[in-house]
Amino acid sequence: MIEITLEHAEKRFNRDVIFRGWSDTLSAADCPVILGGNGSGKSTAMRVLLGYAPLSEGSIRYTLNGKNLSANRAYRHMAFCSPYLELYEELTVREAAAFHFSLKPALPGTDPADLAERALLKEAADRPVKHLSSGMKQRLRLALALYSDTAAVLLDEPTSNMDAAGRDWYRSTVEAVRGDRLFIVASNHLEEEYFFCTRKINIEDFKP
């Protein structure tokens, strides 16, 4: 199990403070959701938690099964999904799954060759990703993250571009694969995205 600990964390761009004075420990025990409106800094906060963006002040620490984990190795134990995450558009859905799971292991019992079917993309399995609709692409992004065998899964506005059927698929898939992993969701106050989260973190509480 993984934990992420922030101490007096601050992120800013020039004079624009995204968050300041954030001290917290994020763990699977309370399944946190980061809430905020458009442009509030949720996505930046997620990038910081992933180790993709450095803090301006303060510190971030990762522990895996009670042992310290260096920041430059933490990403190997985390999967991420965002509607802005780029996919390799020239690959087919089947090829995209094979490539992804060559870098991160799949959950036990998950065959990467079956990912298209799990993501309701069976009929599009051999279609280049660039020919998928925005909702289909989002299901693919989510499936790649949710079926990765990682200690943490971070989901940024996971139901963006999805219709009712896609949102139902999201809910049932999260329920099926969540287990005891650390899930962190960033959401624009859409409860269907964080229905399983037990603690709310409002990014606005950490602004000057």
Work out the pLDDT band at 144, boundaries 50, 70, 90: very high
Work out the pLDDT band at 164, boundaries 50, 70, 90: very high
Work out the pLDDT band at 189, boundaries 50, 70, 90: confident
What is the CATH T-level fold of the domain 2-206, as seen in this structure? Rossmann fold (3.40.50)
Task: Spell out the domain ranges in the chain.
Answer: 2-206
**C-alpha span between 62 and 27 (Å, rounded):** 10
The pLDDT, as a whole number, for residue 72 is: 85
Cβ atoms 183, 2 nearer than 8 A:
no
The pLDDT, as a whole number, for residue 151 is: 96
The pLDDT, as a whole number, for residue 15 is: 87
Written in H, E and C, the secondary structure of the chain is CEEEEEEEEEEEECCEEEEEEEEEEECCCCCEEEECCCCCCHHHHHHHHHCCCCCCEEEEEEEECCEEECHHHHHHHEEEECCCCCCCCCCEHHHHHHHHHHHCCECCCCCHHHHHHHCCCHHHCCCEHHHCCHHHHHHHHHHHHHCECCCEEEEECCCCCCCHHHHHHHHHHHHHHCCCCEEEEEECCCHHHCCCCCEEEEHHHHCC
| Average pLDDT estimate for 46-55 | 94
Q: What is the pLDDT of residues 62-71, one digit of tens each?
A: 999 989 999 8
The pLDDT, as a whole number, for residue 25 is: 96
Res 55 pLDDT > 90: yes
The verdict on pTM exceeding 0.85 is yes
